[in-house]
Amino acid sequence: MTEGIKDSVYMKPVTYADSGVDIKKEDAAVRSIVSVISGTFANRKGKIGEVKSRIGHFANFIDIGDKYIVMCTDGVGTKVLIAQMARKFDTVGIDMMAMNVNDIICTGAEPIALVDYLAVEKIDNDMVLELSKGIRDGANDAGVAVIGGETASLKGVITGVGGMGFDLAGTSIGVVDKDKVVLGDNIQAGDKVIGIASSGLHSNGYSLARKVVLGKYKLEDKFPWGVSVADELLRPTKIYVKPVLDVLSKYRGSVTGLCHITGGGLMNLKRLNGNAGFRLSDLMDALPIFSEIKKVADIADEEMYKTFNMGMGFVVVCREESARGVMNILEKHDLACKVVGEVTGDKGVVEVPKLNLKF
């Protein structure tokens, strides 16, 4: 156990900012970037590829005639450090795929292809092969083609554990008919919020999770629920593509919003519609890993729910009359789900009454 980590965990309650990730500063940085790059939209004005949405949703649209192409990019984050420590590389490719395709479906689009970018400290053929297997498995689950990518050896730029440093990211594209876009614009008070279970930490909050968990446990230890620390921390992100597309095939007219719960936790709901609010009166139970993190470091509920998914990895917002039908489809895909709340007219507010939380 590293004493520095131990001291930082147990001397005081831990926040995401303590672990090196300041969400407020990141938001400010993103706003600065957007203020600069959004001006490039004019380059395609009136041409094929004209930009049709805003930066800030989960993915963005370009016009190609009778359809929109949807694009987004994402990576695995500091979860790659756990893979390096455990010398286990066959799951983080699934995470990279999931973080991309789960964002694509938030627009109502079907993901169709992805290109990956792998930067390494040094080439290790076994590691690269295992990473590739994870990407393949994720692609098969999502039903997308991996059509290319780039591998770069960047010693001195990429450093990691035991010389096995790497970073993995991807850019994905999807396609959607113009009249089938889901952006949250039609969300209205009374719509039901359906939560879908996550598989665990997914790929978010690892700067904080590592700080807390590795302050108490070694990777080979087992958590109280019988799973090794390494296996729990490397449990891959759930891919929601096929069940959500199934829901859209039958209830697209009633689905008003789709939300991937990633870094920022429940605050992701604000990306759907700034004119609506969300009252979450019956959240899904927190998975054991989240309860353990909270207990070990005495982390406040507010910090937990604005950092982690807490057991709810995706949200479908729909008209009240369709909620049961939507859940029937999700359950046929072996996904645990339930109505966790409803939309309110409280502009831009996410409220959890039972925990006295308001974001």
Q: Are residues 166 and 202 in the same domain?
A: no
- 111, 146, 180 - which closes a domain: 180
CA separation, residue 336 to residues 8, 195, 196, 199, 230 (Å): 36, 8, 6, 10, 24
Q: Are residues 77 and 155 in the same domain?
A: yes
Q: Are residues 172 and 202 in the same domain?
A: no
Contact of 98 with 239, CB cutoff 8 Å? yes
- Which pLDDT value is given to residue 175? 98
Task: Decide if 23 is inside a domain.
Answer: no
- 127, 159, 180 - which closes a domain: 180
CA separation, residue 237 to residues 233, 241, 258, 260, 336 (Å): 11, 12, 17, 11, 15
CA-based nearest residue to 164, from 138, 131, 203, 136: 131
- Which pLDDT value is given to residue 41? 77
- Which pLDDT value is given to residue 6? 41
Q: Are residues 198 and 127 in the same domain?
A: no
- Which pLDDT value is given to residue 12? 46
Contact of 40 with 33, CB cutoff 8 Å? no
Domain containing 227: what range? 192-358
- Give the domain CATH number at 65: 3.30.1330.10
Q: Are residues 73 and 96 in the same domain?
A: yes
Q: Are residues 145 and 196 in the same domain?
A: no
| HSE, side-chain direction, 13 A CA sphere, residue 239 | 25
Q: Are residues 321 and 263 in the same domain?
A: yes
pLDDT tens for the chain, 359 residues long, are 333 334 344 434 466 666 556 556 656 665 666 667 677 878 878 888 788 766 667 889 999 999 999 999 999 999 999 999 999 999 999 999 999 999 999 999 999 999 999 999 999 999 999 999 999 999 999 999 999 999 999 999 999 999 999 999 999 999 999 999 999 999 999 999 999 999 999 999 999 999 999 999 999 999 999 999 999 999 999 999 999 999 999 999 999 999 999 999 999 999 998 789 999 999 999 999 999 999 999 999 999 999 999 999 999 999 999 999 999 999 999 999 999 999 999 999 999 999 999 99
- 155, 180, 205 - which closes a domain: 180
What is the number of domains present in the chain?
Answer: 2
Alpha-carbon gap, residue 151 to 175, rounded angstroms:
26
- Which pLDDT value is given to residue 10? 41
Alpha-carbon gap, residue 336 to 359, rounded angstroms:
25
- Which pLDDT value is given to residue 3? 34
Task: Decide if 27 is inside a domain.
Answer: no
- Give the domain CATH number at 238: 3.90.650.10
